Amino acid sequence: EAQVTQNPRYLITVTGKKLTVTCSQNMNHEYMSWYRQDPGLGLRQIYYSMNVEVTDKGDVPEGYKVSRKEKRNFPLILESPSPNQTSLYFCASSRLTNGWSYNEQFFGPGTRLTVL
């Protein structure tokens, strides 16, 4: 089954304790992206990657890191989480080989993170 998976789905942690949220897709997609969703603000793009070893900042990259060492994986790293990073996080992927314009983004199920 074609899918985007994220782990963990739920995480409660404390301020300053490094964490990684994994994202993996099995559709051989070139493009992957991370978003956070907060009430009243919608989804905001954190980082995206057009291909292996190519990453770029989205609209809200502060406090986050990413890496793209393999095509299928795009982990999101919070080196020193703070309470304002409490949010619902989505990973997504899409194909690029047939163009950028109208390729559908496929989303993972989301990771609900609480930082105390």
Partner 1 sequence: RKEVEQDPGPFNVPEGATVAFNCTYSNSASQSFFWYRQDCRKEPKLLMSVYSSGNEDGRFTAQLNRASQYISLLIRDSKLSDSATYLCVVKGRAGGTSYGKLTFGQGTILTVHP
Query: Which residues of this protein are in contact with partner 1, per CB under 8 A?
Result: 31, 33, 35, 40-45, 48, 50, 56, 58-59, 88, 90, 99-102, 104-105, 107-110
Cα 55 to Cα 85: distance, rounded to the nearest angstrom: 21
Strand 31-38, strand 87-94: pairing: antiparallel
Shortest reach from residue 107's CB to partner 1, in Å? 4
Shortest reach from residue 80's CB to partner 1, in Å? 26
Considering the complex, state which of residue 58 and residue 63 has its C-beta at the smaller distance from partner 1.
58
Considering the complex, state which of residue 12 and residue 41 has its C-beta at the smaller distance from partner 1.
41
Among 109, 104, 112, 111, smallest CA distance to 27 is for: 104
Considering the complex, state which of residue 4 and residue 115 has its C-beta at the smaller distance from partner 1.
4
Shortest reach from residue 90's CB to partner 1, in Å? 6
Cα 45 to Cα 116: distance, rounded to the nearest angstrom: 23
Shortest reach from residue 104's CB to partner 1, in Å? 5
Among 1, 11, 2, 3, smallest CA distance to 89 is for: 11
Considering the complex, state which of residue 44 and residue 71 has its C-beta at the smaller distance from partner 1.
44
